Structure 1
């Protein structure tokens, strides 16, 4: 029996919790569901840490787990929605109609019109602060392909919002302070 034990996975995984939560929020758009998704990701990562290949990118591995859990949950929810429709059950939610919500809705509508690959790179690079190399490892593309996809996605988003480069969709200056400060060292 070997006296050297592998590093404690929870300590290494815990370093990425903030980024996992931001990614979960971008996927779910609901803080409660995002917290559940992070918890499920952490649990699955700890339970299956033996599948992690040392020397590879732990953060990319965790994001892949989180993304896969999210897609599984979405497919399950779609199946449940079909059943609810068959039973005649529906719900409706109305958002308050003030400037910030309207600007956010306009942005989200434009964002949703982007293809899934474009949305994915914008979330990873733009929202979560991944480098092009980290994004490339996460989605298994070359860094050059990621750069091109990010550039194209940003241009499409600006075009759909009717903005020019450097212009913001936020209607009032006080909304600019709502952005989360970057916690990554290279920001």
Structure 2
């Protein structure tokens, strides 16, 4: 082991490694074909490179060393996913794991079909408030109605949607109680 701890090596290594982020991201995109997974792969690569910078041999090609780390992480992740899939198939074949009784795609189609049956004004307020994240006041300004009228229309539209889906008054078609916390409020486009 060297006389320098990883915490002392990391600050010196970070600027040199940081110069290659763009190239690492391009390479990660070519491997994963998914921007989110590519970003995760670059982050994992940077972390591993900083933690193990003591293994880098000065005078050799830093970019090639980083690309090798990134490629190895990618292939390790793929092999792990394949093993996990094989284990899950084996468990489901033996009956140790039960597949869910519902089909999410069919449930979504059912919700969309019920939504399409609503009148245009009801669909509009549900889209503005539910999907785009507008407040009642912003929705009222957008469609030129009073906020009270918007609240009434939203309440009526939600009730009609629940009725068409066969849900009780307190039930929701959303699968998880934290669903709304996961939603990201997008930038608004003019209606």
TM-score, normalised relative to structure 1? 0.44
Q: Which has the larger radius of gyration?
A: 2
Q: Relative contact order: is structure 1 or structure 2 higher (C-alpha 8 Å, sep ≥ 6)?
A: 1
Q: TM-score with structure 2 length normalisation?
A: 0.43
